[in-house]
Chain A
Amino acid sequence: MGYHAIITGASSGIGAALAEVLAAEGYAVGLIARRAERLDEVAERVRATGGVAATAAADVTDPAALRQAIAALEAALGPCELLVANAGVAVGTPMDPLDLAHNRQVLATNLYAPVQAFAAVLPGMLRRGRGVLVSVSSLAGYRGLPTQSAYCASKAGLSAFATGLRADLRGRGVHVLDVCPGFVTTEMTAKAPFPTPGALTATDAARRIARALRARQDHLAFPWFTAVGMLLMRLLPGGLFAALSRRVLAPRPRGGAGPGGAG
């Protein structure tokens, strides 16, 4: 049996694609998500191609359930050598009306859950002097975008947390890869009320992550044109950025012409 890789949010999107890609590379994959049936389908696909997979259904925003799921997968597949904190939600959180429950849900899933997942596996990795932590963050974390306040905050926080852990883990055998994708065609982006230019497939995204893991990269941002765009956004002074981002992210009918109203 190969190294054990645990992936959260493995029932669909990048997580499900990554399960298949990592299994094909010889990892035994431990899959966590809320939807047990969807998880089993992904596990079946992995096994159909000769891979090893186990599943544990859990809501990652429940720290006790998450720890229990990780423990169950470690009991089945051995110590976790690679943890991919991939589970995430995208819910628009505009300022007016400001919905605190939505803000909290996004932060809990995209930021608090990865912190809890890292905390659950890190002691074992440090004891063994070996391990890899992967944060699936987003290019949206490079700058706060209108109507996406909580999503951008959660991703900026996740990337910063991964970056901080890496600085402390340097030389102790545990590697940290922070992944910042642009748009990837998944259930998440299917609901986006704005255009998603240059969207990649989930499989393409998963292959890029696997390649970055093999190369032991610290940071992975893709596709390059979205990354460059967000880096430029980051360079803009606050006022100019605010004006520009309002235009770019103005809600409009998908595939429609012309910018719609901002309300």
Chain B
Amino acid sequence: MAGHVLITGGSAGIGAALALELARRGRAVGLVARRAEALAQVADQVRALGGTAAWAVADVADEAAMARAVAELEAALGPCEVLVANAGVLLHQGAAELDGDATVALLRTNVEGPIVSAAAVLPGMLTRGRGHLVLISSLAAFRAASFWAAYCASKSAATAWWEAARAELEPRGLQVSVVYPGYIETEMVRNNRFAMVGLQSPQALAEQLAGLLERPRPALYSPWALSLPARLGWWLPAWLVDPVLQRMFR
């Protein structure tokens, strides 16, 4: 297939694992992240598997940098057929330490980042009448847990934006998917001191994502069983859920 899969946050974790999985399946990958060295390493690993990769350094919330990155990657690999908006950060922050500026910085990366990424690839996709936008959201999008308020808010917000995008872009021939992973063993969750139910390797999720790219559908919950309590949590009142969350995330 001509063109490439653009992965933001492609230097580590889920993004890097997906790049390698796609290389095994013969798809060219364009990697975007902030750290050049880490990006180059992942690109080397892709090539070692016989795959095709190019990379560009950009902060996903920086409009000009993202436009430049997409232009470079499209020049090297052909049109962006799939955007995997995966770049994201996590902030462990209790209410007592609530830092407004740090929280807004997280929201910029996790909410504006996917929007800016989509803006960079959408004109081309709309012109071609074809494309697939994939958001790596989180099961945390459903119910905000104490200590994770900022992260949960960011995933909730990005998910709502992506749902709105689907309604508008499907009639134009584009596919729009939201992925809701639970705990994935990456740098992001390394400092979690609580029991991570249903913890998966980045590789396990990458295989499911590669499947989603081959057969696009609106939502991927992973693990599906864990998504049931997470999704149910949105509907339940605070007095019922909050004591449980408080105990779980101490």
Residues of A within 8 A of B (CB): 63, 94-96, 98, 100, 103-104, 107, 111-112, 115-116, 118-120, 122-123, 126, 141, 143-150, 152-170, 172, 174, 218-219, 234, 237-239, 241-243, 245-246, 249, 262
Q: B170 to A159, Cβ gap below 8 A?
A: no
Select A160's contact among B99, B152, B162, beta carbons within 8 Å.
B152
Across the two chains, which residue of chain A brings its CB closest to B237? Answer: A218
Across the two chains, which residue of chain A brings its CB closest to B96? Answer: A126
Q: B126 to A96, Cβ gap below 8 A?
A: yes
Q: A96 to B168, Cβ gap below 8 A?
A: yes
* B119 neighbours in A (Cβ, 8 Å): 98, 100
Q: A164 to B148, Cβ gap below 8 A?
A: yes
* B172 neighbours in A (Cβ, 8 Å): 96
State in angstroms the CA–CA spacing of A154 and B154 once bound together. 9
State in angstroms the CA–CA spacing of A112 and B153 once bound together. 11
- Return 29 A-B CB contacts under 8 Å, by A number: A63-B100, A95-B165, A96-B122, A107-B107, A116-B104, A122-B96, A144-B160, A146-B168, A147-B164, A149-B165, A152-B164, A153-B111, A153-B158, A156-B160, A157-B111, A157-B154, A157-B157, A160-B155, A160-B156, A161-B144, A163-B238, A164-B146, A165-B98, A167-B146, A218-B238, A239-B166, A241-B167, A243-B167, A246-B168
State in angstroms the CA–CA spacing of A249 and B171 once bound together. 15
Q: B242 to A144, Cβ gap below 8 A?
A: no
Most chain-B CB neighbours within 10 Å: which of A94, A153, A166, A237? A153
Q: A103 to B112, Cβ gap below 8 A?
A: yes
Q: A115 to B144, Cβ gap below 8 A?
A: no
Across the two chains, which residue of chain B brings its CB closest to A67? Answer: B100
Q: B146 to A168, Cβ gap below 8 A?
A: yes
* A111 neighbours in B (Cβ, 8 Å): 107, 111, 153, 157
Majority-rule SS of B interface residues? helix
Q: A141 to B160, Cβ gap below 8 A?
A: yes
State in angstroms the CA–CA spacing of A237 and B119 once bound together. 25
Name the interface residues of B86-131: CB closer than 8 Å to any CB of A: 94-96, 98-101, 103-104, 107, 111-112, 115-116, 118-119, 122, 126
State in angstroms the CA–CA spacing of A122 and B168 once bound together. 39
Check: B132 CB closer than 8 A to any chain A CB: no
* B148 neighbours in A (Cβ, 8 Å): 164
Distance (whole angstroms) from the CB of A157 to the closest CB of chain B: 3
* B149 neighbours in A (Cβ, 8 Å): 160-161, 163-165, 167-168
State in angstroms the CA–CA spacing of A219 and B234 once bound together. 12
Across the two chains, which residue of chain A brings its CB closest to B119? Answer: A98
State in angstroms the CA–CA spacing of A14 and B119 once bound together. 33
Instruction: Supply 11 further A-B pairs (C-beta < 8 A) apart from A118-B98, A126-B96, A167-B242.
Output: A63-B104, A115-B100, A141-B156, A143-B160, A144-B165, A146-B164, A147-B164, A160-B144, A161-B150, A167-B245, A237-B219
A-B contact count (CB 8 A): 197
Distance (whole angstroms) from the CB of A83 to the closest CB of chain B: 13
State in angstroms the CA–CA spacing of A95 and B168 once bound together. 7
Q: A167 to B246, Cβ gap below 8 A?
A: yes
Q: B98 to A119, Cβ gap below 8 A?
A: yes
Residues of B within 8 A of A (CB): 63, 94-96, 98-101, 103-104, 107, 111-112, 115-116, 118-119, 122, 126, 141, 143-150, 152-172, 178, 217-219, 234, 237-239, 241-243, 245-246
State in angstroms the CA–CA spacing of A73 and B165 once bound together. 41
* A119 neighbours in B (Cβ, 8 Å): 98-100, 103
Select B104's contact among A98, A115, A141, A219, beta carbons within 8 Å.
A115
Q: A149 to B164, Cβ gap below 8 A?
A: yes
The 6 closest A-B pairs by CB, nearest first: A238-B218, A164-B149, A164-B144, A157-B157, A144-B163, A119-B100
State in angstroms the CA–CA spacing of A242 and B103 once bound together. 31
Given known pairs A100-B116, A141-B160, A157-B107, the reply for A238 and B152 (CB within 8 Å) is no
